[in-house]
Chain A
Amino acid sequence: MSTLEIKDLQVSVETEDGPKEILKGVTLTIKAGETHAIMGPNGSGKSTTAYSIAGHPKYTITGGTVTLDGEDVLAMSVDERARAGMFLAMQYPVEVPGVSMANFLRTAKTALDGEAPKLRTWVKDVNGALEQMNLDPQFSSRSVNEGFSGGEKKRAEIAQLDLLDPKIAILDEIDSGLDIDALKVVSDGINRFSAREDKGLLLITHYTRILRYVKPDVVHVFVDGRVAESGGPELAEELEANGYEKYTAVSR
């Protein structure tokens, strides 16, 4: 059973005025079989949590630990983290001109498995994953994220989640910019992934609407770089009704 353990994580970024502390000690434990949702107002450190766990060079870890099944994630390079079983679906997936989705997916799968996937089943798997996300098979010949609509980018992230099959997936605002149909398609994809054995999910969102389709076991409210409150799904409902005001008022 996989466990991602984040303990007292402190993170800063370089700004023109020097380093700025964003995470001031975040502690979370995500076990396989669990779905956690992180909610919070803009600037509360939700995305910073996601990107610093994935190893984005912009963020400096100033304290705390992150382990996956006891292994020190922070000591790993970005690609090592992925090979250890982590996956980050990004809010703004990056365009890579001239690199086809097919080439990219095969290269990633080969890197993760240590061997190239078997051609026949792989093509079938890719087409199947695209189809489930309502993406045309032609999609695999297009350059990575280039010219994709906002919704296509998000659906392509979930198709990758399906194919690359990590242990722990962090989805950063996967729901932003999606219309209701696309939100359902994306949510179905996430639920199919969670239903697999031994999968943990950390869903970062600004809005509660995706939580109607993807049911969290635990909801964390982020405020000012810390977890202000954790609770069950009912916490999301409360946020839906009352917003973040209660928390932001306290932090001021």
Chain B
Amino acid sequence: MTVTDAARDTVAAALESDRVESHLNPPPSYDLADHPLPTGREEVWRFTPLKRLRGLLDGEASDAHLTWDTTIPAGANLTEISADEARGLELPPNERPAALAASLSGTATLLDVPADTRVEEPIVLRLSGATVEDLVHGRMIYRFGAHSEATVVLVHEGSARYNAISTFLVGDGAKVTVLSLQDWADDAVHLGRDSIRVGRDASVKHASISFGGDVVRLHANVEYAGPGGEAELLGLYYADAGQHLEHRLFADHNAPKTKSNVNYKGALQGTGAHTVWIGNVLIRKVAEGIETYEENRNLVLTDGCQADSVPNLEIETGEIEGAGHASATARFDDEQLFYLKSRGVSETEARRLVLHGFFVDLIRKVGVPSLEERLTDTVEAELAKTVTSGLNQR
């Protein structure tokens, strides 16, 4: 039986039962034997430079940690829990790095926001690594009670080989914003899996912002615990020469009248800059009346870059409000630059304006005012590296 046949059989079986495994998202399992070391030929690994993961998938144990600097406002609690407790709470791993993180991290961290609690200020977790020699496994669970409201800002800095499994349990009617910023040093390696379960009528905004690191490969998965949940998955990335930034999204519409909206934007500059965006959406048979849209846009600023962008939509019911996707990868638009320059604006300034415009909507959508300026500044600092060299080529 070929792989295609297997996939078709799975889909056929799904039409009869509620169990369906999207062929792009293997079944969850804690058993490492179910997640063999990838060869690089697997569909889910084919874009990733495995050699540059520096042994992160080998399964080596390690006691190293990142340094945590946290701001926990009143209403939120941060505690350490055992591996067993974590396993009872979390959304299980469905790929090797997440399974390794679960098995090797020892304890886990639980952030709790009780029901009906509104945490006004952002909960900030600043994680920094000392050196890329450190191998660190992380395991986190974020639990937001029914009708709670909170914003979590997760900042990754410094360097490490970091592999983490994170679970976000969003209670009924809760409103949650999660922002994960990857501002690593140039040599860091980061594998991460964020899985979100959206409660009935709850809304979640998850934003993944990647600037630093040698290899960053992150999953953002969303599923629903009941009807009426909404998820907005946002992303912004800026890859420099030699950097590999990979974002893999999965919206699993497993409940009716749920919504997902994915919007990732990236810029690439310099030889060997590589970005990967995989947007998977599964609309299960039960998921009638859902609405989903996913979009990825890439701006290629110099020669020698590669942007891979793959939207996938698996639909098992046609009784939906809407499903769509868009993907576009382009260079600077000459007409835009001409228009701006015809008003006296220099080439450098015109490029800066266009790039600023490209990202600004997304930065506003992230909706964490305290970080807006930092994000804008970082984007502009990144651009400053290339506009000058871009001009030299002309």
A residues with a Cβ closer than 8 A to B are 54-57, 77-79, 81-83, 87-88, 90, 93-99, 103-104, 107-108, 111-112, 143-144, 160, 164
Contact = CB atoms under 8 A, between A and B. Distances in A.
Contacts of A144: 339
Given A88-B342, A94-B335, A77 B357 contact: no
A102 to B, nearest CB: 12
Nearest to B346: A79
Contact of B346 (A94, A103, A111): A111
Interface stretch (B43-51, B218-226, B358-366): B358-366
Contact of B342 (A78, A97, A99): A78
A164 B340 CA distance: 13
A90 B336 CA distance: 12
Contacts of B334: 57
B339 A108 contact: no
A99 B333 CA distance: 14
Contact of B339 (A57, A83, A90, A143): A90
Contacts of B353: 96, 99, 103-104, 107
Nearest to B353: A99
Contacts of B360: 98-99
Contacts of B339: 90, 93-94, 96, 144
Contacts of B336: 94-96
Contacts of A108: 340, 343-345
A79 B335 contact: no
B343 A98 contact: no
A97 to B, nearest CB: 5
A164 B345 CA distance: 12
Interface string B349-390: 110011011111100000000000000000000000000000
A79 B347 contact: yes
Contacts of B344: 79, 82-83, 108, 111-112, 164
Sorted nearest first, the 6 A-B pairs with minimum C-beta distance are A98-B357, A82-B344, A94-B339, A108-B343, A78-B341, A99-B357
Contacts of B341: 55, 77-79, 82
16 contacts: A79-B350, A81-B342, A82-B344, A90-B339, A90-B342, A93-B339, A94-B335, A96-B336, A96-B353, A99-B357, A103-B353, A108-B343, A108-B344, A111-B346, A143-B357, A164-B344
B338 A78 contact: yes
Given A98-B359, A99-B357, A103-B353, 4 more contacts: A78-B342, A82-B341, A95-B336, A107-B340
Nearest to B360: A98
Nearest to A57: B334
Contact of B356 (A78, A88, A93, A98): A98
Contacts of A94: 333, 335-336, 338-339
A160 B345 CA distance: 13
A104 B340 contact: yes
Most buried by B among A55, A79, A93, A108: A79
A98 B349 CA distance: 15
Given A78-B338, A94-B336, A107-B349, A99 B356 contact: yes
B115 to A, nearest CB: 38
A98 B267 CA distance: 15
Indicate the member of B333, B335, B339, B354 with the most A CB atoms within 10 Å: B339
Interface string B156-174: 0000000000000000000
- Of residues A87, A108, A143, which shows the largest number of chain B Cβ atoms within 10 Å of its Cβ? A108
Question: For B343, B345, B359, B361, which residue has the most chain A Cβ atoms within 10 angstroms?
Answer: B343
A96 B340 contact: yes
A53 B318 CA distance: 55
A144 B357 CA distance: 10
A76 to B, nearest CB: 11
A44 B53 CA distance: 61
Nearest to B358: A98
A55 B338 CA distance: 8
